[in-house]
Amino acid sequence: MIKLSENAINQRAPYKVEQTGDTSFMFETKYGVVYSVGFMQDVSFYNEGVYQFYLINLSSKTIGVDKNISETVRVVIEEFFTHKEVVMLYICDTADMRQEYRDRLFKIWFNTYEKCDLYSLYTEGMTIDNVRYLSSVLLRKDHPLHNQVLNKFHDFIVQHNQE
């Protein structure tokens, strides 16, 4: 189990984060919107090293575009990837069935990230119980099990996909 550093994040993030667990944080924007961001261990296809990423608006309100949110989240993700042997699993929220839109936003964010060349991003679609999900893994290219992780993720999703 890894532990992320609140201090390291707060040295660079525009919004001050507060640690709520080894790999979880909360922050409040200047508009009073509260977010929870972090990673939870996921043992769906590997017994360790895979963490499901989440970003949740706890206030259930949004106030326009706020670049400081994505900037803060970027710093949190960078802190996560100071650990070499981790895998980030991201499943787009299916609330209001806008998962495709969220997936596009995530890819735009990733492709404009200045260090994206250091990472591999791989996405699979799947349908479970008549709901379509988009699921991605993000990992460092120098992850020691890079190809095995991608292959295993692909197998896990595709072999058991109901699509």
* 3-class secondary structure, 47: coil
CA 25 centroid distance within chain: 13
10 versus 52: smaller Cβ distance to another protein: 52
CB 15 within 8 A of CB 26: no
| Binding of residue 89 to another protein (CB under 8 A) | yes
Question: Shortest gap between Cβ of 71 and another protein (angstroms)?
Answer: 20
Q: Can you read off the two tokens belonging to residue 75? A: 């710093």
Question: Shortest gap between Cβ of 114 and another protein (angstroms)?
Answer: 28
54 versus 113: smaller Cβ distance to another protein: 54
Question: Shortest gap between Cβ of 54 and another protein (angstroms)?
Answer: 4
**CA-wise closest residue to 73 among 20, 13, 32, 22:** 13
Q: What mask, x for binding another protein by CB under 8 A, covers residues 33 to 52?
A: -x-x-x-x-xxxxxxxx--x
* 3-class secondary structure, 108: helix
Q: Which stretch binds another protein (CB under 8 A): 8-16, 71-79, 87-95, 107-115?
A: 87-95
| Binding of residue 141 to another protein (CB under 8 A) | no
* 3-class secondary structure, 22: coil
Count of residues in contact with another protein, rule CB under 8 A: 41
| Binding of residue 62 to another protein (CB under 8 A) | no
Q: Can you read off the two tokens belonging to residue 36? A: 């929870």
Burial of 149 (0-12, 13-18, 19+ CB in 10 A): buried
Taking the C-alpha atoms of residue 2 and residue 60, their distance in angstroms, rounded to an integer, is 29
Which positions touch another protein (CB under 8 A)? 20-21, 24, 26, 34, 36, 38, 40, 42-49, 52, 54, 56, 58-61, 85, 89, 91, 93-94, 126, 128-129, 131, 133, 135, 145, 148, 152, 156-157, 159-160
